[in-house]
Amino acid sequence: MELPSLDLNLVVVLHALLEERNVTRAGQRVGLSQPGTSAALARLRRHFHDPLLDRVGTRYELTPLAQGLYDQLGETLDHLQRVLKAQPQFDPGTTGRRFVVRCSDAVLTVLAPLIVAEVAQAAPDVVLDFRTIDHTAVTDPVRSLSEIDILIAPRGLFSVPEMSSVELYEDRWLCATWTGNTQVGEALTIDEVRRARWVMPYQEVLMASPADAALAALGVDRHCAVRVENFTILGQLVVGTNLLVLLHERLASRYTNTELRRVELPQELAPVTEVAWWHPSRRLDPGHRWFIELIQRAASTVARIPVDTDSP
């Protein structure tokens, strides 16, 4: 493969110009004088046969080509930076690296404290950046994984066979309601499940959760009464109502709320398997490999912690 002849430093200047849309500010950002930045812009215009920045009144606007370049450049430079910073060794005791993890608040509550504790001990200068699962993580996981280090999500939420992954731990579903709910007894029939109204998480983000997929196999399409992009608050939202909720058992075991009671479903749902996913471009990164192994150790601890079967 032969690369086009363009100084890589010009790519950095191009990114600054397209972001700032101002020659002076772009130059200050990359350490060039105003004339030097103008000269770089002239070279870029000749290379792409496009003005890139069009003056409209007192400001510059991106040409269609420049907009297309801008949409790709951030990710491209990020990948290039990782390639050029690659080292054969990784020392967690001295690194100040930042690791970005995207996960649900259920995983954040159950697994993240163990990850943080391990990292704090083994790599005190590492920065951990936990972010919530968003729509892109579900609809375009490949793109999402290219921008972060790890995505932790239930198996079956999406299909990305080309991505690297490892199973972390299992969690079971349990159904609960308010202790004052007199409309249902200790166990539900299929008809009662169909008629019930539910508090449901992440409806816009996840679309069909693993729990809904399992219920769909029983011919049940849940009726949503309350939607919230959160797992940890679900149990609190049914208190004082006749609504039902499906909870992660490991999360529910942490509740101290005595106003909830468990209700048996007509059939046990398939457990949730939380999986760590990452982009293939990180396979040869020793730092990333260290982080994955640390997450696996933390997950093995979660798997060994007994769940309080009397919860909620």
- DSSP string over 43-110: HHHHHHTS-SEEEETTEEEE-HHHHHHHHHHHHHHHHHHHHHH--S---TTT---EEEEEE-HHHHHH
pTM above 0.75, yes or no: no
Give me the CATH number covering residue 192. Answer: 3.40.190.10
Same domain, 183 and 243: yes
Asked if residue 30 has pLDDT above 90, the reply is no
Same domain, 184 and 262: yes
> Among residues 163, 111, 154, 119, which one has the least CA distance to residue 133?
154
- Where is pLDDT greater, at 302 or 308? 302
CA distances from 75 to 81, 225, 230 (A): 10, 40, 29
Asked if residue 23 has pLDDT above 50, the reply is yes
| CB neighbourhood size of 200 (10 A) | 23
Same domain, 114 and 250: no
Same domain, 164 and 284: yes
Asked if residue 275 has pLDDT above 90, the reply is yes
SS3 177: strand
Least confident of 10-24, 70-84, 174-188: 70-84
Asked if residue 126 has pLDDT above 80, the reply is yes
Same domain, 235 and 196: yes
What is the domain range of residue 200? 173-270
> Is 310 inside any structural domain?
no
Element (H, E) at 215: helix 210-216
**The tokens 């950095």 sit on which residue?**
12
Same domain, 227 and 152: no
Counted domains in the chain: 3
SS3 174: strand
Rounded Cα gap, residues 50 and 46, in angstroms = 7
- pLDDT of the residue at 3: 43
Asked if residue 277 has pLDDT above 90, the reply is yes
Torsion of CA 247, 251, 256, 257, to 10 degrees: -20
- pLDDT of the residue at 206: 53
SS3 293: helix
Mean pLDDT of 289-306: 92
Contact 96, 119 (CB under 8 A): no
Asked if residue 7 has pLDDT above 90, the reply is no
Give me the CATH number covering residue 60. Answer: 1.10.10.10
Same domain, 147 and 214: no
Q: At how many degrees (to 10) do helices 34-48 and 23-30 cross?
A: 100
- pLDDT of the residue at 1: 38
175 beta partners: 246, 263
> Is 2 inside any structural domain?
no
> Is 312 inside any structural domain?
no
For residue 204, the one-letter residue type is E
- pLDDT of the residue at 117: 97
Choosing from 36, 64, 85, the residue where a domain stops is 85
Contact 86, 76 (CB under 8 A): no
Element (H, E) at 164: strand 164-171
Report residue 10's pLDDT band, with 50, 70 and 90 as the boundaries. Answer: confident
Same domain, 254 and 115: no
- pLDDT of the residue at 14: 85
- pLDDT of the residue at 2: 44
Asked if residue 178 has pLDDT above 80, the reply is yes
**The tokens 């200790």 sit on which residue?**
186
Rounded Cα gap, residues 82 and 3, in angstroms = 19
Percent pLDDT > 70 in the chain is 88
Query: β-strand 150-154 against 164-171: which pairing, if any?
Result: unpaired
Asked if residue 86 has pLDDT above 60, the reply is no
Asked if residue 97 has pLDDT above 50, the reply is yes
Where is mean pLDDT largest: 44-58, 75-89, 99-113?
99-113
Where is mean pLDDT largest: 76-80, 216-220, 232-236?
232-236
Same domain, 117 and 254: no
- pLDDT of the residue at 29: 84
> Among residues 309, 296, 186, which one has the least CA distance to residue 252?
309
- Where is pLDDT greater, at 268 or 240? 240
- pLDDT of the residue at 204: 55
Mean pLDDT of 7-26: 84
Percent pLDDT > 90 in the chain is 38
Same domain, 140 and 288: yes
Contact 251, 111 (CB under 8 A): no
Asked if residue 247 has pLDDT above 50, the reply is yes
Same domain, 137 and 178: no
Rounded Cα gap, residues 263 and 277, in angstroms = 33
> Among residues 251, 228, 291, 224, which one has the least CA distance to residue 90?
291
- pLDDT of the residue at 309: 56
SS3 190: helix
> Is 135 inside any structural domain?
yes
